[in-house]
Chain A
Amino acid sequence: MKADSAVIRRISGTAVAVRGNDIDTDRIIPARYMKELTFDSLGQYSFYDRRFDESGNPLEHPFNDPRFRDASILLVNENFGCGSSREHAPQALMRWGIRAVVGESFAEIFAGNCTALGIPTLTLGREQIEALMQRVESDPQTEIRIDLEGCNLTAGDLSVALSLPDTQASMFLNGTWDTTTILLEGREQIGATAESLPYMRDFPYDHPRGG
């Protein structure tokens, strides 16, 4: 249902930087922690093998640093979320408390999965993200404000422009990022489109009956 509560115009909070290019979804959440019945408790497994050694002793990692524990904005570098398309990756980050991810670039399926959870993935240049990461690392309490309408981000006196594809921006601003709901609402249009497709209309696939 398109609800006003689903509209996302602004996100604010403190941030945490996880540096490095090509951080894959196996690093965001190792597959062995995907066997939960629900997504509810996945947050604790975020970056698990980076945060703990094999004996469960904590390692140095921004997600283990108490100064960043309440951060809701994740700062990353290039191609974040590559690899397996597992929805568990954005789910884990969301359950951890992340509400937006800002970085140089994102793997596309990961970005799509984030969008479908109401988590914008916003991009900016290398110099801007570096400045932002340094700011946050030197002052973890820096209040970050992201404005999706103006597509910019402020961190104290630092202000940078962000990029977000128009389609994604409109999904957040109109509260239509929950694609399952959109599909359910659009039944009639889906049916009409299906009727117009040659492979549905002219040569339907061989319907298996009962498997």
Chain B
Amino acid sequence: MKGALSPGVCSKDIILSVIAALGVKGGLGYAYEYGGAAIAALPMEARLTICNMSIEGGARVGYINPDQVTFDYLEGRRFVPRGEDFNKAVDFWRQIASEADADYDDRYELDAAALEPMVAWGINPGQAVGVKQKLPKAGEVKPEDREALQIAYDHTGFRAGAPIEGQRIDVAFIGSCTNGRISDLREAARLARGGRVASHVQALVVPGSQQVAEQAAAEGLPEIFREAGFEWRGAGCSMCLGMNPDVLVKDQICASSSNRNFIGRQGSPKGRTLLMSPAMAVAAALAGEVTDVRQMIKGGRA
């Protein structure tokens, strides 16, 4: 991953773009290693988002080689060796990083500078487009992906060739193991501050863990979200998979920072899930429709 991400584009967009390009079976039988300037520049939590979604690309596992960002993140954390032991651990971790001349079964290159915010609109995480792009026609996808494309259009009711930007939403969900970390919530709060959730939208912010919930509370984030019309909830999985009462109703459309958009995933067999970054989900909550968070940033809202 070369280049640098533009403002408003984040690691979620990198991994959605990778899965869109390589498909949900792309990594089957393999591990994904992510590297390059764009990855090296990412803070640890943004890296976790990418590795977390390797499974959605079919890979058994995904990883980023340990570097100073990793070591700094780990130092002082619970379960991490301390003192002289930590230095030994760092020496060991350096040894297990891939060599510069390592052999790979395949390589895929992406220019992060050219990346735009992504939206997975269909029924698997590989059916994703840039926010400024139009939904694909059958002839524009690989032959083996056409069946899934048809199922996606049958399920979503969206039209091939239509833009995804401007698609009205009913629910916005910021949370999940993919994007429910403190850095995600800080970014979401930065964008939500002073705004107002659209009147027809239910917007939920759900910290990924108790620790994140406590940290967010200490930083005053719940108040920012509540003032903007978001519901601040207890930590958990919530609307990622619909195991608690946080579920879509009928064919509601959800702008979601989670990782899976399979049919029925958010609790309603007819529900529709649009996967995107937390920043894009906040933007959608405020606008009431899918919108380009980059314009919100340019417009001085954040």
What residues make up the interface of A, taking CB atoms closer than 8 Å to B? 20-22, 24, 26-27, 30-32, 34-35, 49, 53-54, 78-79, 82-85, 105, 107-109, 198-199, 202-206, 208
Contacts and interface: CB of A to CB of B under 8 A. Distances in A.
A206 B148 CA distance: 48
A84 B92 contact: no
A180 B270 CA distance: 38
Interface residue range, chain B: 35 or more
Contacts of A105: 25, 28
Contacts of A199: 81, 89, 92
A156 B16 CA distance: 45
B109 to A, nearest CB: 24
Nearest to A35: B243
A79 B267 contact: no
Main secondary structure of the interface of B (DSSP, over half): loop
B42 to A, nearest CB: 24
Interface of B: 24-25, 28-29, 55-56, 58, 60, 78-82, 85-86, 88-89, 92, 124, 144, 147-148, 151, 241-243, 247, 250, 260, 262-265, 267, 269-270
A109 B81 contact: no
Contacts of B267: 31-32
Contacts of B88: 198, 202-203
A54 B263 CA distance: 13
12 contacts: A24-B260, A26-B264, A35-B243, A49-B269, A79-B58, A82-B24, A82-B124, A84-B260, A105-B25, A105-B28, A203-B81, A205-B79
A208 to B, nearest CB: 6
Contacts of A107: 28, 58
